[in-house]
Structure 1
Amino acid sequence: MDNRNITNTGNDYNRTQAGLGAGTLQRLDDLDDFKVADGDPDIRGWSVRTSDGRKIGEVDSLIVDTTAMQVRYLDIDLDRKALDLKEDRHVLVPIGGARLDDDKDDVLLTGITGAELLAMPPYRHGQPVALNHDTRDHDVDAKKFYGNREGSGRVERLTLSEEELRVGKRTRAAGEAHVHKTVETRHVSEKVPLKHEELVIETRPLQPGTPAQGEITDGEVRIPLMAEEVVVDKQAVAREEVVIRKKVVEDEKTIEADLRRERLDVDRTGADTSRRDTRH
Structure 2
Amino acid sequence: MADKKKNLYYLNELSDWKVDSDDPDVRGWKVKDKDNRVVGKVDNLLVSKSKEKVVYLDVEVDTSIIEANHKPYGKSASADVHEFVNKDGENHLIIPIGHARLNEDEKYVYTDKIDHQTFAETKRKERGIDVDRDYEVVVLESYNRNDGNRNYNEQTTRTADRDLENRSQTTGTSERERRQVDPATESDLDTGRSERTRIANEGEIGNNRASEGRYPDDDSLYEGEDFDRSNYRRRS
TM-score by length of 2: 0.48
Q: State which structure, 1 or 2, has the greater radius of gyration over its C-alpha atoms.
A: 1
Greater share of residues in helix: 2
Higher-RCO chain (CA-CA 8 Å, sequence separation at least 6): 2
TM-score by length of 1: 0.41
